[in-house]
Protein backbone atom coordinates (compact mmCIF):
# COMPACT_ATOMS: atom_id res chain seq x y z
CA UNK A 1 0.00 0.00 0.00
CA UNK A 2 1.40 3.37 -1.05
CA UNK A 3 2.18 5.77 1.74
CA UNK A 4 -0.18 8.81 2.23
CA UNK A 5 1.23 12.09 1.14
CA UNK A 6 1.11 15.11 3.39
CA UNK A 7 -1.23 16.82 1.06
CA UNK A 8 -3.75 14.02 1.09
CA UNK A 9 -3.61 13.87 4.89
CA UNK A 10 -4.43 17.53 5.16
CA UNK A 11 -7.36 17.13 2.82
CA UNK A 12 -8.74 14.14 4.61
CA UNK A 13 -8.16 15.71 7.98
CA UNK A 14 -10.30 18.68 6.95
CA UNK A 15 -7.52 21.24 7.06
CA UNK A 16 -7.42 23.90 4.35
CA UNK A 17 -4.42 23.47 2.06
CA UNK A 18 -1.60 25.84 2.77
CA UNK A 19 -0.50 28.34 0.17
CA UNK A 20 2.91 27.75 -1.11
CA UNK A 21 5.58 30.20 -0.14
CA UNK A 22 5.92 31.12 -3.76
CA UNK A 23 2.30 32.15 -4.07
CA UNK A 24 2.35 33.94 -0.73
CA UNK A 25 5.27 36.05 -1.85
CA UNK A 26 3.26 37.53 -4.72
CA UNK A 27 1.81 40.85 -3.54
CA UNK A 28 -1.96 41.10 -3.55
CA UNK A 29 -3.33 43.46 -6.17
CA UNK A 30 -4.36 46.85 -4.91
CA UNK A 31 -8.05 47.31 -4.58
CA UNK A 32 -9.08 50.68 -5.95
CA UNK A 33 -12.27 51.88 -4.38
CA UNK A 34 -14.76 52.90 -7.02
CA UNK A 35 -16.29 56.29 -6.43
CA UNK A 36 -19.88 56.18 -5.31
CA UNK A 37 -22.23 56.99 -8.14
CA UNK A 38 -23.27 60.62 -8.10
CA UNK A 39 -26.81 61.20 -6.94
CA UNK A 40 -29.02 62.58 -9.59
CA UNK A 41 -30.03 66.15 -8.93
CA UNK A 42 -33.63 66.39 -7.99
CA UNK A 43 -35.65 67.64 -10.88
CA UNK A 44 -37.02 71.16 -10.59
CA UNK A 45 -40.07 69.99 -12.43
CA UNK A 46 -42.98 69.89 -10.05
CA UNK A 47 -45.63 67.30 -9.95
CA UNK A 48 -48.99 68.35 -11.37
CA UNK A 49 -50.52 68.18 -7.91
CA UNK A 50 -47.89 70.57 -6.52
CA UNK A 51 -48.38 72.98 -9.40
CA UNK A 52 -52.11 72.98 -8.85
CA UNK A 53 -51.75 73.76 -5.15
CA UNK A 54 -49.27 76.58 -5.78
CA UNK A 55 -51.51 77.97 -8.53
CA UNK A 56 -54.39 78.18 -6.08
CA UNK A 57 -52.22 79.96 -3.55
CA UNK A 58 -50.96 82.48 -6.13
CA UNK A 59 -54.49 83.16 -7.37
CA UNK A 60 -55.71 83.68 -3.83
CA UNK A 61 -52.88 86.13 -3.13
CA UNK A 62 -53.43 88.11 -6.34
CA UNK A 63 -57.15 88.39 -5.69
CA UNK A 64 -56.56 89.64 -2.21
CA UNK A 65 -54.03 92.20 -3.41
CA UNK A 66 -56.40 93.49 -6.10
CA UNK A 67 -59.28 93.68 -3.67
CA UNK A 68 -57.18 95.60 -1.18
CA UNK A 69 -56.26 98.10 -3.91
CA UNK A 70 -59.88 98.68 -4.89
CA UNK A 71 -61.53 98.84 -1.52
CA UNK A 72 -60.59 98.94 2.13
CA UNK A 73 -62.50 98.34 5.30
CA UNK A 74 -63.18 101.39 7.44
CA UNK A 75 -65.11 100.76 10.66
CA UNK A 76 -66.57 97.64 9.09
CA UNK A 77 -67.81 99.43 5.95
CA UNK A 78 -66.38 98.86 2.50
CA UNK A 79 -65.16 102.01 0.77
CA UNK A 80 -64.98 101.79 -3.01
CA UNK A 81 -62.72 103.86 -5.24
CA UNK A 82 -64.53 106.94 -6.58
CA UNK A 83 -65.94 106.70 -10.07
CA UNK A 84 -64.09 108.64 -12.75
CA UNK A 85 -67.20 109.58 -14.78
CA UNK A 86 -70.85 110.55 -14.39
CA UNK A 87 -74.08 109.10 -15.65
CA UNK A 88 -75.60 110.99 -18.60
CA UNK A 89 -77.78 113.92 -17.52
CA UNK A 90 -81.04 114.33 -19.42
CA UNK A 91 -84.25 116.31 -18.99
CA UNK A 92 -85.64 115.64 -15.51
CA UNK A 93 -82.28 114.59 -14.05
CA UNK A 94 -80.58 116.59 -11.32
CA UNK A 95 -77.20 118.24 -10.99
CA UNK A 96 -74.62 115.65 -9.96
CA UNK A 97 -72.29 115.70 -6.99
CA UNK A 98 -69.03 116.93 -8.53
CA UNK A 99 -66.36 119.39 -7.49
CA UNK A 100 -64.90 121.75 -10.11
CA UNK A 101 -62.65 124.80 -9.90
CA UNK A 102 -63.86 128.32 -10.66
CA UNK A 103 -61.82 131.04 -12.36
CA UNK A 104 -60.18 131.84 -8.99
CA UNK A 105 -59.05 128.25 -8.47
CA UNK A 106 -61.62 127.72 -5.71
CA UNK A 107 -63.54 124.47 -5.27
CA UNK A 108 -67.19 124.60 -6.31
CA UNK A 109 -69.67 121.81 -5.54
CA UNK A 110 -71.88 121.58 -8.62
CA UNK A 111 -74.83 119.93 -6.82
CA UNK A 112 -75.13 122.94 -4.50
CA UNK A 113 -75.30 125.61 -7.20
CA UNK A 114 -79.07 125.30 -7.62
CA UNK A 115 -79.88 125.11 -3.91
CA UNK A 116 -81.31 128.66 -3.80
CA UNK A 117 -81.64 129.72 -7.46
CA UNK A 118 -82.17 128.42 -10.94
CA UNK A 119 -78.98 127.91 -12.96
CA UNK A 120 -77.94 128.40 -16.57
CA UNK A 121 -74.72 126.75 -17.78
CA UNK A 122 -73.50 127.94 -21.14
CA UNK A 123 -70.69 125.87 -22.63
CA UNK A 124 -67.95 127.22 -24.89
CA UNK A 125 -65.29 125.29 -26.86
CA UNK A 126 -62.37 127.56 -25.92
CA UNK A 127 -62.00 130.72 -23.88
CA UNK A 128 -61.10 134.00 -25.58
CA UNK A 129 -61.81 132.87 -29.13
CA UNK A 130 -64.12 134.86 -31.45
CA UNK A 131 -67.29 132.74 -31.28
CA UNK A 132 -66.93 132.04 -27.56
CA UNK A 133 -66.32 135.72 -26.84
CA UNK A 134 -69.50 136.62 -28.74
CA UNK A 135 -71.50 134.14 -26.65
CA UNK A 136 -69.88 135.20 -23.35
CA UNK A 137 -70.38 138.91 -23.98
CA UNK A 138 -74.01 138.34 -25.02
CA UNK A 139 -74.66 136.68 -21.63
CA UNK A 140 -72.78 139.57 -20.00
CA UNK A 141 -75.02 142.17 -21.63
CA UNK A 142 -78.28 140.58 -20.42
CA UNK A 143 -76.92 139.24 -17.13
CA UNK A 144 -79.14 141.56 -15.02
CA UNK A 145 -82.21 140.03 -16.66
CA UNK A 146 -81.22 136.55 -15.47
CA UNK A 147 -80.60 137.88 -11.98
CA UNK A 148 -84.05 139.48 -11.91
CA UNK A 149 -85.59 136.06 -12.56
CA UNK A 150 -83.60 134.50 -9.70
CA UNK A 151 -81.32 132.60 -12.07
CA UNK A 152 -77.54 132.44 -11.85
CA UNK A 153 -75.32 132.17 -14.93
CA UNK A 154 -72.16 130.06 -15.21
CA UNK A 155 -69.78 129.63 -18.11
CA UNK A 156 -68.46 126.06 -18.36
CA UNK A 157 -65.43 125.03 -20.42
CA UNK A 158 -62.38 122.73 -20.39
CA UNK A 159 -60.02 125.71 -20.05
CA UNK A 160 -57.79 126.14 -17.02
CA UNK A 161 -58.85 128.45 -14.22
CA UNK A 162 -55.97 130.78 -15.13
CA UNK A 163 -57.13 131.09 -18.75
CA UNK A 164 -60.69 131.73 -17.62
CA UNK A 165 -59.61 134.38 -15.12
CA UNK A 166 -57.64 136.22 -17.78
CA UNK A 167 -60.62 136.12 -20.16
CA UNK A 168 -63.02 137.25 -17.44
CA UNK A 169 -60.92 140.32 -16.65
CA UNK A 170 -60.37 141.14 -20.29
CA UNK A 171 -64.09 141.09 -21.18
CA UNK A 172 -65.48 142.14 -17.78
CA UNK A 173 -67.64 139.03 -17.44
CA UNK A 174 -69.85 139.40 -14.32
CA UNK A 175 -70.61 135.69 -13.74
CA UNK A 176 -68.43 132.78 -12.53
CA UNK A 177 -66.55 130.50 -14.92
CA UNK A 178 -66.15 126.79 -14.14
CA UNK A 179 -63.16 124.75 -15.27
CA UNK A 180 -63.81 121.14 -16.34
CA UNK A 181 -60.46 120.09 -17.89
CA UNK A 182 -61.37 116.39 -18.05
CA UNK A 183 -64.81 117.24 -19.45
CA UNK A 184 -66.54 115.14 -16.80
CA UNK A 185 -69.64 117.34 -16.45
CA UNK A 186 -69.46 118.43 -20.07
CA UNK A 187 -69.58 114.79 -21.21
CA UNK A 188 -72.41 113.92 -18.82
CA UNK A 189 -74.42 116.78 -20.33
CA UNK A 190 -73.87 115.29 -23.78
CA UNK A 191 -71.82 118.24 -25.05
CA UNK A 192 -68.62 116.43 -26.04
CA UNK A 193 -67.77 115.39 -29.58
CA UNK A 194 -64.40 114.36 -30.95
CA UNK A 195 -62.64 115.41 -27.77
CA UNK A 196 -64.07 118.94 -28.04
CA UNK A 197 -66.84 120.85 -26.27
CA UNK A 198 -69.96 121.60 -28.28
CA UNK A 199 -71.38 125.12 -27.91
CA UNK A 200 -74.59 124.74 -25.92
CA UNK A 201 -76.55 125.81 -22.86
CA UNK A 202 -78.51 124.03 -20.11
CA UNK A 203 -81.17 125.39 -17.76
CA UNK A 204 -81.73 123.90 -14.31
CA UNK A 205 -84.60 124.80 -11.99
CA UNK A 206 -84.12 125.71 -8.37
CA UNK A 207 -83.35 122.39 -6.68
CA UNK A 208 -81.23 121.17 -9.58
CA UNK A 209 -83.63 119.53 -12.08
CA UNK A 210 -82.68 119.88 -15.77
CA UNK A 211 -85.48 121.65 -17.67
CA UNK A 212 -83.96 122.66 -21.00
CA UNK A 213 -80.93 122.00 -23.20
CA UNK A 214 -79.77 123.40 -26.50
CA UNK A 215 -77.03 121.47 -28.40
CA UNK A 216 -75.69 123.05 -30.54
CA UNK A 217 -76.58 126.72 -30.39
CA UNK A 218 -75.34 129.84 -32.15
CA UNK A 219 -73.18 132.16 -30.02
CA UNK A 220 -75.44 135.23 -30.24
CA UNK A 221 -78.67 133.21 -29.89
CA UNK A 222 -77.71 131.31 -26.74
CA UNK A 223 -78.54 133.96 -24.07
CA UNK A 224 -81.69 135.12 -25.89
CA UNK A 225 -83.11 131.59 -26.15
CA UNK A 226 -82.23 130.80 -22.54
CA UNK A 227 -83.91 133.94 -21.24
CA UNK A 228 -87.05 133.36 -23.34
CA UNK A 229 -87.38 129.83 -21.95
CA UNK A 230 -87.11 131.10 -18.36
CA UNK A 231 -89.77 133.76 -19.00
CA UNK A 232 -92.07 131.14 -20.54
CA UNK A 233 -91.85 129.05 -17.37
CA UNK A 234 -92.91 131.98 -15.24
CA UNK A 235 -95.76 132.80 -17.59
CA UNK A 236 -97.00 129.20 -17.41
CA UNK A 237 -96.81 129.07 -13.60
DSSP 8-state class, residue 159 = S
Nearest in space to 164 (alpha carbons), one of 136, 131, 190, 193: 136
Q: CA 186 → CA 126, 189, 197, distances in Å?
A: 13, 5, 7
Q: How far apart are CA 61 and CA 64, in angstroms?
A: 5
Active-site residue among 89, 95, 110, 132?
Answer: 132
φ, ψ dihedrals at 80, nearest 5°: -90, 155
Please name the residues in contact with 69: beta carbons below 8 A apart, sequence gap of 6 or more: none
The answer to whether residue 155 is catalytic is no
DSSP 8-state class, residue 202 = E
Nearest in space to 71 (alpha carbons), one of 63, 80, 62: 80
Crossing angle of helices 130-141 and 221-236, in 10° steps, is: 40
Q: How far apart are CA 177 and CA 161, in angstroms?
A: 8
Residues with catalytic function: 132
Amino acid sequence: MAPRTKTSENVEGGEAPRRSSRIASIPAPEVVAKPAPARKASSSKKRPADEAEEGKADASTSKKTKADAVAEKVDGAEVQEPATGLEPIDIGDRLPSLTLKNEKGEDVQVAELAAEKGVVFFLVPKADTPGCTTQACAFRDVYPDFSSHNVEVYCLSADTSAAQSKWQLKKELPYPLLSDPKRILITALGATEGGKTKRSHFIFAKGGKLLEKKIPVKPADSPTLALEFIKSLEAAA
